Structure 1
Amino acid sequence: MSFTDLATATYCPRQLYYDRREDDREPPPEATARIDLAFRYPELRDLDDAALAAEPIDRPPEEYRAALARLADRADWESLSDPTDTHVLLDGKDARGVAHKVIGETGADAPRDDDENPTGDPPVPVIVSPGDPPERGVWEPQSVKAVAAMHALSWQEGRRIRRAIVEYPTHGVVRDVSLSVRRSGTYRRVLRSVRELDGPPARLSSSAKCRDCRHRSNCGVKTRSLRSLIGL
């Protein structure tokens, strides 16, 4: 089970069904370019307005630069802006996928909470989203993906990982995600639904999610116009 499948199913199970029927499931180049911003924060802070405006950011250059300046006040700024471990494959008991960054020490030699003299915190998986952030917190698909990453890293490390980070680099926004009962419950529900997926899920009706879906033409989702809704 992949992290991406879980996130997609959280957004729309039917979209996952059609995604799995495709041979090429690589993210589009524009999404990759937006994700790559998360690995270039120091460079981006030094760009002038014209050069910054040419990047795939979703804020005016002055606002974006100010957002990065706020990020620089975080205690983990150095690790976020110049991560040691990037594109790390996490292979858990239930799901596997790539964490764009992992902050902190991992492996058998990393400090543990049960050591006599612990000297470090547990590692933190980082998921990078090419989209826009909500006003607060993170969108549910990214929340499920973050929980999957936490569980997978916990399985590999043999210790509890209760924190993850989700970055929205086109806005210069970083959100912390803690493992909670509600988030774990949502993750388990989605995991179960993906495991049981053996045919196209029920169709949505007039959902806003359908408007920009690349499967709209062959999905069979029935949407109705305003004219039909009012009987004209």
Structure 2
Amino acid sequence: MTRAAYCPRQLYYARRVDDRTIPDSQRARIDLAFRYPELLDLSDRDLSDRPIDPPPARYRRRLRSLRDGGLVDRFDVPWRSLVNPADERVLLVGRTCHGIAHKVIDGPDSDGSSPDPPPIPTIVSPGTPPETGVWEPQAVRAVAVAKALAWEREREIPRALVEYPAVGVVREVRLTVRRLATYRRALRAARGIDGPPPRVNDARCPPCEYHEKCGTKTRSLRSRLGL
């Protein structure tokens, strides 16, 4: 689903290769999401040895802000739920999709003040977030795991979280009408692939691992202007 939202042609090549392994460098960044309390206690020197992007002092401040405020990125998700999820690395199988939720955390009112709040699935990205919100492919994946969890639990799951542990940021994805429409488009794109989709030629191409196989030729601004 993530690949379908990013580029259907990339999904086509990924299916042909059928390689779902995660590079060690990305796995190390994902694993940070399960070590927040440990990371808070590390010295600057030890923290600098971890695969984080901000300087150690800034990274620690971000985690402390989440912990001490009791909220995740201004949303009503307790720190205790984030660092002690009800489930980890869970395969969710829904009616239209399936995939791994890195965490399934208790709802914000799990202390009993509200009856049976819905759980919140979380996916973890090894990358960095945009200035606001989340990247569209990650939003599609977040919606997918939320819908799969809803199917398994037979209840509405109105939101999911995307963690960016290498930068100490957590973002919320609400299952809005717009998000659901984007998800359905990605689902149709994934189901409709029976041959190589049309090539794209934009900023998605250079970092793609199938760039050479795809045959898309990127052009410099100079060549586009005919200089």
What secondary structure does 2:92 align onto? Answer: strand
Residue deviations 1:141-178, cap 9 Å, x none? 11101111111111001111101111000010011111
Partner of 2:74: none
1:9 to 4, 12, 15: 4
Partner of 1:177: 173
Q: Which runs of 5+ in 2 are unaligned?
A: 72-76
TM-score (norm: length of structure 2): 0.91
Range that drifts further, 6-15 or 90-99:
6-15
Partner of 2:148: 152
Please say if residues 91 and 156 of structure 1, whose CA atoms lie closer than 8 Å, have aligned partners that are also in contact: yes
Amino acid at match of 1:22: V
Please say if residues 85 and 105 of structure 2, whose CA atoms lie closer than 8 Å, have aligned partners that are also in contact: yes
Partner of 2:105: 103
Please say if residues 71 and 174 of structure 1, whose CA atoms lie closer than 8 Å, have aligned partners that are also in contact: no
Mapping 1:33-52, distance limit 5 Å: 33-52=28-47
Residue deviations 1:163-196, cap 9 Å, x none? 1111000010011111100000110111011101
Please say if residues 166 and 175 of structure 1, whose CA atoms lie closer than 8 Å, have aligned partners that are also in contact: yes
Amino acid at match of 2:39: L
Residue deviations 1:104-144, cap 9 Å, x none? 28xxxxx9xxxxx9633111100111110111111111110
Distance 1:159 1:225 in 2: 50
1:88 to 79, 86, 90: 90
Distance 1:139 1:227 in 2: 29
Q: Which runs of 5+ in 1 are unaligned?
A: 1-5, 106-110, 112-116
Distance 2:92 2:20 in 1: 19
Report whether the alignment pairs 1:230 with 2:225.
yes
How many pairs align?
216
Amino acid at match of 2:57: E
Mapping 1:67-216, distance limit 5 Å: 67-72=62-67, 73=69, 74=71, 75-104=77-106, 119-205=115-201, 207-216=202-211
Distance 1:142 1:43 in 2: 26
TM-score (norm: length of structure 1): 0.89
Q: Aligned-pair RMSD on alpha carbons?
A: 1.6
Question: Identity over the aligned pairs, expressed in percent?
Answer: 56
Distance 2:198 2:186 in 1: 15
Range that drifts further, 209-218 or 59-68:
209-218
